[in-house]
Chains A and B, each alone.
Chain A
Amino acid sequence: MKQELLKEIIKKKENKVEFAIITNLENGESCIFEKKKPVDKNFEKHIEKINFYFDKKKNGIIEETNIFIETYIRPIKVIIVGAVHIAQYLVDFAKSLNFEISIIDPRGYFASEQRFPGIKIINKWPKEAFKEISTNSQTALIALTHDPKIDDPALQYAIKNKFFYIGALGSKKTHENRCKRLKEANIKDEDIKKIFGPIGIKLGGRSAPEIALSIISQLVSEVYKK
């Protein structure tokens, strides 16, 4: 592989483009494959098979060829509401797990660049903040403020937009009250039930990094259930 190609791959990853690296194992030549873009001449013969593997997001040697394909998918988006202490640890875990993090918090003193270097921070109320993020059914929401003014609108947005994971921090009591409020706001029971609250799997710890670990563990396990 040429270093130029390596640099191009890194750039595509940073720009969150979906692509594949295809390598001819017989002559060592490799190139980038992107949907609907012309493919290198050396690989034209197998274009149908390459497309098939690409669509299935499969990695491996393409059947009856000497071509190895590795597909790169976009990272899963995780939106954290509340730039609190736990969020600082969540960001660390999420980095190694390659989740794409955005943080929403209207309180400027929490959501500072200094506390979250290199992370997309939106210093607005959820309703306004969501206008700046494109979301879909592959997006997750982690609500951490346990302040109804901030968490509730974000939870409602996530429910309406069918996020695959919605979790909210708070005790059982806090969560019961939250559910009541959402019901009053005409959110369906079945949707309210989908919220993970109290958030996280039971690990036992109560420190910020332990709670962050319990949340991220739950999130990862939900990724593979969908």
Chain B
Amino acid sequence: MKNSFDEKILNEANDWKNAKQKVVLATVIQTWGSSPRAVGSRMIVNENGDFSGSVSGGCVETAVVRECVNLIKEKKLFKKIEFKVSNESAWEIGLACGGEIAIFLEEIK
């Protein structure tokens, strides 16, 4: 059996939009190897870089926030980004767990 463990991110996205914020929705669309969050996991980011939800276990969120804010600045509607395992120091953006993920960013209009 499966349960729909809904994290209410979409509800929150709607609240943010109603509060006249610009909102980008980030969704995990593909994973390879051991990645902390399943396909369909979500986070939202506004133009100030405030965020809610998660797409990894904290490994790539900072970079995702940056990408989302850039998406708003550049007035793009959507973008696909990927993160691979980092060979550099632990401070480098990347998944320490050795996984890879692809994330789809889209602004809510």
A contacts, CB < 8 Å to B = 1-3, 6-7, 9-10, 13, 23, 25, 28, 30, 57, 59-61, 68, 70, 72-76, 97-99, 138, 164, 220, 223-224, 226
Query: What is the total of A-B residue contacts with beta carbons within 8 Å?
Result: 73
Whole-angstrom CA separation of A60 from B30 in the bound complex: 6
Smallest beta-carbon distance A62→chain B, Å = 11
Is A164 a contact partner of B14 (Cβ separation < 8 A)?
Answer: no
* Given A6-B17, A28-B106, 14 other A-B residues pairs in contact with their CB atoms under 8 A: A1-B106, A13-B10, A25-B29, A25-B104, A30-B106, A57-B2, A60-B29, A72-B4, A73-B3, A98-B5, A98-B6, A138-B1, A220-B3, A224-B1
Q: Which of B30, B40, B106 contacts A70 (CB 8 A)?
A: B40
Whether a CB of chain A sits under 8 angstroms from the CB of B89 is: no
Is A99 a contact partner of B3 (Cβ separation < 8 A)?
Answer: yes
Is A7 a contact partner of B78 (Cβ separation < 8 A)?
Answer: no
Is B11 a contact partner of A3 (Cβ separation < 8 A)?
Answer: no
Residues of B within 8 A of A3 (CB): 14, 17, 108-109
Q: Which of B1, B39, B108 contacts A226 (CB 8 A)?
A: B1
Nearest 9 CB-CB pairs, A to B?
A28-B78, A59-B40, A226-B1, A98-B6, A59-B39, A68-B29, A70-B40, A73-B4, A60-B39
Is B27 a contact partner of A70 (Cβ separation < 8 A)?
Answer: yes
Can you list 22 residue pairs at the A/B interface with Cβ under 8 Å? A2-B108, A2-B109, A3-B14, A3-B109, A6-B17, A7-B14, A13-B10, A25-B78, A28-B78, A28-B106, A30-B106, A57-B2, A59-B39, A59-B40, A68-B27, A68-B104, A73-B4, A97-B3, A99-B3, A138-B1, A220-B3, A223-B1
